[in-house]
Amino acid sequence: MSLALVGAGREAAVSPKLWRDDFPILGERVHGKPLAYLDNAATTQKPQAVIDALAGYYAHDNANVHRGVHTLSQRATDAYEAARAKVRGFINARQAEEIVFVRGATEAINLVAASFARPRLAPGDEIVLSAMEHHSNIVPWQLACAATGAVLKVVPIGDDGAFLPEAYEALLGPRTKLVAMTHLSNALGTVTPARWIVERAHAAGVPVLLDGAQAISHLAVDVGALGCDFYAFSGHKVFGPTGIGVLYGKAERLRSMVPYQGGGDMIRTVTFEESRFADIPYRFEAGTPNIAGAVGLGAALDYVSAVGMGAIAAHERELVAYATRELERIPGLRIVGTAKEKASIVSFTLEGVHPHDIGTIVDHAGVAIRAGHHCAMPVMQRFGIPGTARASFALYNTLDEVDALVAGVDEARRMFR
Ligand code: C6P
């Protein structure tokens, strides 16, 4: 199907052709072929607006934040805090103080594990998570369990990769101290019923962290409506720079936490006898932060808001449906993750062909996908496979690119026949 047909019948005011023009890297050629970038779950490409914001910050405003009285330092501080305000608006947090800048989703989850969970856990306490979690939402909790004697309780998933509500409810018990759940699985594409998950946990008096690393660029995230206590995501997966991410935490939760990293900028007073911490969010931002990264993230969120999450979701639904239909026509191909509620990701195996070979062969056709366990080894164990090939979509992808993927995968099948 051609790009023109992709645009036809879509209610969105903007076409993917226009969106593509915003991303200079999409003009690259790989092995002499036009790049078809279908590895957006690993990281997204950056629009010119983000690249310009980064360059503009370094060209005009660069200084350290919160430290100097000089003009540039004030400008850098203003730009950094303006980015925080943009994040607040984007996810509908109540106050900018609830937005902590970190390196990414991984650091956000580690922060909660170290500063919130550990001091509250006792031997035999339970943390509930699901069988479709990324390692970043497993290992920090294992470390917390190892230090405290708490244990993990894992909500199983269905054969289609769906979240199982009854199994979740059955695991919520008197020893549950925290629920840590993905909002959108990076390996399967499954979207979890996050709002309901939070409601059920809160009814049992249990706080909830949502891992929004994938959801942030595909679903409208409203932490007020979700009601979650913590929400973690990375800037680089929502068209922003690497090395910047966000921990959203309800103000009362964050205020109850002692920082796990100490240093400059996170204190009120320091003597050799004791230190008094700054208020939130600064007490969790020890050291010089990624100022340019925050500025770039702010520009990325402006960009996404201008396109509109509704238009993005509608476009990606079409891509997922088309890719699923076309890939399933290839003999021996099996889609892993077919839950009714899914978004933006198509994971698959091909009989007799290792996922890495699929990845290498389609790369020669200019198509970038990820192959392997996707840092979700328990998902692979659940399905009894070593890994999958994974195509993951973003607003700038087209049905023509899906066609290139399907042709490449079929080529792999014929080569290994
Ligand atoms: N998933 C993928 O290819 P970081 O590395 O901190 O930006 O994000 C970690 C992370 C946490 N949770 C989920 C659901 C994720 O998908 C990721 C990152 C990438 O699927 C890289 S492994």
**Digit-coded pLDDT (tens) for 79-90:** 999 999 999 999
The model's confidence at residue 3, banded by pLDDT at 50, 70 and 90, is: very low
Q: Is 143 in the pocket of ligand 1 (CB under 6 A)?
A: no
Q: Is 375 in the pocket of ligand 1 (CB under 6 A)?
A: yes
User: Ligand 1 atom 21: the closest Cα is on which residue?
Assistant: 42
Query: Distance, CA 261 to ligand 1 centroid (Å)?
Result: 22
- pLDDT tens readout for residues 107-138: 999 999 999 999 999 999 999 999 999 999 99
Q: Is 374 in the pocket of ligand 1 (CB under 6 A)?
A: yes
pLDDT at 5 over 50: no
> Measured in Å, how far apart are the chain's first and last C-alpha atoms?
27
Ligand 1 pocket mutation, candidates 234, 239, 374, criterion most atoms within 8 A of CB: 234
Number of the ligand 1 atom closest to the C-alpha atom of 108? 6
pLDDT value for 13? 45
Query: Distance, CA 60 to ligand 1 centroid (Å)?
Result: 32
In percent, the amount of the chain with pLDDT more than 90 equals 94
Ligand 1 pocket mutation, candidates 44, 186, 290, criterion most atoms within 8 A of CB: 186
Region 60-66: mean pLDDT is 95
The model's confidence at residue 2, banded by pLDDT at 50, 70 and 90, is: very low
Query: Distance, CA 111 to ligand 1 centroid (Å)?
Result: 16
Q: Is 140 in the pocket of ligand 1 (CB under 6 A)?
A: no
Query: Distance, CA 213 to ligand 1 centroid (Å)?
Result: 6
pLDDT at 214 over 90: yes
- pLDDT tens readout for residues 328-375: 999 999 999 999 999 999 999 999 999 999 999 999 999 999 999 999
User: Ligand 1 atom 5: the closest Cα is on which residue?
Assistant: 106
Query: Distance, CA 306 to ligand 1 centroid (Å)?
Result: 25
CA distance 235 to 395: 16
Q: Is 104 in the pocket of ligand 1 (CB under 6 A)?
A: yes
pLDDT at 91 over 50: yes
Q: Is 235 in the pocket of ligand 1 (CB under 6 A)?
A: no
Q: Is 283 in the pocket of ligand 1 (CB under 6 A)?
A: no
CA distance 254 to 412: 50
For residue 375, indicate whether it is catalytic.
yes
pLDDT value for 12? 44
Q: Which domains, from first to last, does the chain contain?
A: 3-46+308-411 (3.90.1150.10), 51-305 (3.40.640.10)
Query: Distance, CA 233 to ligand 1 centroid (Å)?
Result: 9
pLDDT value for 14? 52
Number of the ligand 1 atom closest to the C-alpha atom of 182? 14
CB 214 within 8 A of CB 184: yes
pTM: 0.96
Q: Is 121 in the pocket of ligand 1 (CB under 6 A)?
A: no
Q: Is 192 in the pocket of ligand 1 (CB under 6 A)?
A: no
Q: Is 182 in the pocket of ligand 1 (CB under 6 A)?
A: yes
Query: Distance, CA 245 to ligand 1 centroid (Å)?
Result: 11
Name the catalytic one among 38, 191, 210, 375. 375
